[in-house]
């Protein structure tokens, strides 16, 4: 069996240096999925940019495939990233408006990685962006809000855009409630995707699940 495509050392170093939550093993699985999906020649779409850690990998895969990564975030942080919560980082609070703003850090991250030309960053709420997005994509990576409302909106908004043979990747899938810190909503949309009959599981790497569109609908 051929080895999974891996990012160049420079890209991996940029990923490891970036602020964010994705461990290297999951990052490598995401990268391999993105390279595979890139062969469809369609955009690779991410919900949940944060500071660009996973975006680096999608951007590099897009560069290899001659396509583009689109990443969507309102940059105000998820529930668990707000002050007083476990994943809060005071370094990404805008001192003037006193709200989280991960956009400047994201832009610096992408610039340092040399991957700006391969990314379209959309600042907005995922369901609103999904509503005005018309085209098919080769890959959807869902790593946004972890409430049922957000995860369901992300699934219903973006999974329909995955082209035949394209990939749906979901992060933070924790089948056992003991393992989860931020809720099992990603697990529930993962189950829904499988139960729909439209997606078939390709791989599982820790909490990252890769599914392929093998049928119509969601």
Ligand X SMILES: C[S@@+](CC[C@H](N)C(=O)[O-])C[C@H]1O[C@@H](n2cnc3c(N)ncnc32)[C@H](O)[C@@H]1O
Per CB under 6 A, which region of 14-22, 132-140, 191-199, 207-215 contacts ligand X?
A: 14-22
Beta carbon of residue 206, minimum distance to ligand X (angstroms, whole number): 13
In angstroms, what is the minimal distance from the CB of 26 to ligand X?
A: 9
Is 60 a binder of ligand X (CB under 6 A)?
A: no
In the complex, what is the shortest distance from the CB of residue 214 to ligand X, in angstroms, rounded to a whole number? 26
Using the rule CB under 6 A, give the single segment among 69-77, 88-96, 173-181, 210-218 that binds ligand X: 69-77
Distance CA 139, CA 170 (A): 11
Residues 151-210 that bind ligand X (CB under 6 A): none
Residue holding tokens 């959807």?
140
Of these, 143, 187, 198, 207, which contacts ligand X (CB under 6 A)? 143
Asked if 109 interacts with ligand X (CB under 6 A), we say: no
Q: Supply the DSSP string of 5-47, one letter for each residue.
A: P---HHHHHHHHHS-SS--HHHHHHHHHHHHHHHTT-S-EEEE
Per the rule left: phi > 0, alpha: psi between -120 and 50, beta: everything else, 72 is beta
- 213 contributes a contact to ligand X by CB under 6 A: no
Question: Does 76 contact ligand X by CB under 6 A?
Answer: yes
Residues in 15-54 that interact with ligand X by CB under 6 A: 20-22, 48-50, 53-54
Residue number with CB closer to ligand X (72 or 211): 72
Give exposure, 16-30, as e/b (b: 16+ Cβ within 10 Å): eebbbbbeeebbbbb
Residue 146 annotated among the catalytic residues of the structure: yes
Closest CB to ligand X belongs to which residue? 20
Q: Please, what's the b/e burial string for 154-183 (b: 16 or more CB within 10 A of its CB; e: otherwise)?
A: bbebbbbbbbeebbbbbbbbbeeeeebebb
Q: Phi and psi (nearest 5°) for 3?
A: -65, 145
Q: How far separated are the first and last CA of the chain, in Å rounded?
A: 31
Contacts with ligand X, residue ranges (CB under 6 A) = 20-22, 48-50, 53-54, 72-78, 102, 125-126, 143-145, 150
Active-site positions read: 146
């Amino acid at each position: 069996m051929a080895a999974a495509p891996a990012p160049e050392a420079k890209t991996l170093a940029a990923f490891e240096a970036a602020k964010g939550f994705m461990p290297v093993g999951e990052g490598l699985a995401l990268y391999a999925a993105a390279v595979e999906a890139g062969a469809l020649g369609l955009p690779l779409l991410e919900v949940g940019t944060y500071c660009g850690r996973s975006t680096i990998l999608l951007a590099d895969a897009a560069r290899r495939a001659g396509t583009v990564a689109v990443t969507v975030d309102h940059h105000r942080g998820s529930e668990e990233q707000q002050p007083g919560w476990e994943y809060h980082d005071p370094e990404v609070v805008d001192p003037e408006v006193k709200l989280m703003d991960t956009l400047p850090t994201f832009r610096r991250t992408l610039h340092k990685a040399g991957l700006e030309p391969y990314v379209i960053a959309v600042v907005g709420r995922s369901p609103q962006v999904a509503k005005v997005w018309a085209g098919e994509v080769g890959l959807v990576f869902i790593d946004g809000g972890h409430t049922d409302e957000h995860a369901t909106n992300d699934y219903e908004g973006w999974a329909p855009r995955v082209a035949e043979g394209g990939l749906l990747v979901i992060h933070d899938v924790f089948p056992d409630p003991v393992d989860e810190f931020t809720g099992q909503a990603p697990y529930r949309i993962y189950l829904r995707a499988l139960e729909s009959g439209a997606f078939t599981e390709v791989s599982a790497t820790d909490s990252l699940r890769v599914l392929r569109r093998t049928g119509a609908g969601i």
